[in-house]
Amino acid sequence: MQSSQKYQAVIGLEVHAQLSTKSKLFCGDSTVFGAEPNTQVSAVSLAQPGTLPVMNEEVIALAVKLGLALNCEIVRDNYFARKNYFYPDLPKGYQVSQHTAPICIGGKVPVITADGIASEVLLNRIHMEEDAGKSIHDLADDYTCIDLNRAGMPLLEIVTEPCIYSAEEAFAYVTSLRKTLRWLGVCDGNMEEGSMRCDANISVRPAGDTSLYTRVEVKNLNSIRNVKRAIDLEIERLIKLTESGEIIKQETRSYDADANTTFALRSKEEADDYRYFPEPDLPPFNITDEYLEGIRKEMPVLPGVLKEDFISRFGLTEYDANQLTSDKVEADYFNALLSHTTAYKPAANWMTGPVKNYCNEQNISINDFPLSIDQLAALIDYTNTGEVNFNVASTRLLQALIQDTSVSPQQAAKQLNLLQENDTDALGKWIEEAIAALPEKVKEYRSGKKGLIGLFAGEVKKRSNGKADMQLVTQLLKEKLDN
């Protein structure tokens, strides 16, 4: 038996999501990313004596929104606690956190791996807390720089149960969670800028064993791909250690993306004593039924629900529906498009094909697509009549309309001579030419290699400058060649 089959990996993930609020958790300092160091630091962020925190209510609303979307139990009576520790980037000497009493308990995240395996990752909790500042070690030789812009930023920590069993599943979980965070407008999910951070707890145990073994925690995973790579590395490393009879130490490790390795930061043999106690400067707060109802009303239709809707109402395939609900802005655009055309399936093809490609190439949001929704719908409907074929329409006709948005698809197609050729005389001539050009292939086709039909069709398409009605061409070619 391979050693990887003798063991099962057990993984639990802690994700810190920085909330998309304008101001910090307990003061009015801006949360905009990338500002000059120490420019978003009022007396509160600096922990000047005498300053007091004031709760940013938007943070509670976002926490509840996420909790409802992930089917958590929303705790009604809440308070914050102080987690005391000393670190230079923590001016107060404590972090205000809900670690001991989270606002959301339980919940689950639907997950589909790249191989199509579906599962549900169970959540342990979601809680609110403030971020610390940033220590910058590599800016100067002899000292460490501190940037307190991040001190007091609002975070949600989303913690799973130890119920993830592979790096692929972890990858799929973070992908799914990020989609929900973005969909709800809770967090922008940008791991490179650190507005979403993930720590992975990993252990291995003999296959069939259900108890939890000693874990290591890996930090500094700044992309979803690195989450997967680091977990794979750790599983391999832990299995090797176990095989060679070593005792696994509980420790915190860091991932080095350049070298694709992990290294130990500190061992965690004793539990830290943070001397938690309720934060005396912030009143406890209660979540009422009315409040919950209000949040529910504000919530957008969730991607899973919208996807089912696209499938049942518009007959889209699972694949298309998935694609079209991966981003809220695109999903909203597609929804709007469907009230201008009834060619649902073609509209999905346009959205996931040429329209998406154009936006990617130009690096623009779908909301900045140069054709209006009306114009795009007209183009889809016009292409659907068969007067131009999809290939020509999605390249030359689309380009022409983008360049001059005042012309209609019909006018542009006529002006550019793009109308689909379905005149059998014209097609017949090209077909004759194609057959005459490939005498050997004709013999092969007639002796049974029917797949060559595509080759002949391609020849005809070339001769027609892409305008031939290919369905008709295939039919005519078969008539000619099968005789």
User: Judged by CB under 6 A, which stretch of 22-30, 159-167, 336-344, 399-407 contacts ligand ADP?
Assistant: 159-167
Q: Which is nearer to ligand ADP, 38 or 71 (CB)?
A: 71
Does position 11 interact with ligand ADP (CB under 6 A)? The reply is: yes
Q: Which is nearer to ligand ADP, 65 or 215 (CB)?
A: 215
Does position 10 interact with ligand ADP (CB under 6 A)? The reply is: yes
Does position 197 interact with ligand ADP (CB under 6 A)? The reply is: no
Q: Which is nearer to ligand ADP, 231 or 412 (CB)?
A: 231
Q: Which is nearer to ligand ADP, 110 or 162 (CB)?
A: 162
Q: Which is nearer to ligand ADP, 12 or 107 (CB)?
A: 12
User: Judged by CB under 6 A, which stretch of 6-14, 186-194, 381-389, 392-400 contacts ligand ADP?
Assistant: 6-14
Does position 119 interact with ligand ADP (CB under 6 A)? The reply is: no
- Measured CA distances, 249 to 6, 48, 215, 226 (Å): 21, 40, 8, 23
Does position 251 interact with ligand ADP (CB under 6 A)? The reply is: no
Q: Which is nearer to ligand ADP, 161 or 251 (CB)?
A: 161
From 139, 207, 212, 305, residue interacting with ligand ADP (rule: CB under 6 A): 212
Does position 162 interact with ligand ADP (CB under 6 A)? The reply is: yes
Number of amino acids touching ligand ADP (CB under 6 A): 15
Q: Which is nearer to ligand ADP, 165 or 319 (CB)?
A: 165
Does position 201 interact with ligand ADP (CB under 6 A)? The reply is: yes
Does position 14 interact with ligand ADP (CB under 6 A)? The reply is: yes
Site residues, ligand ADP (CB under 6 A): 10-14, 159-162, 201-203, 212-213, 215
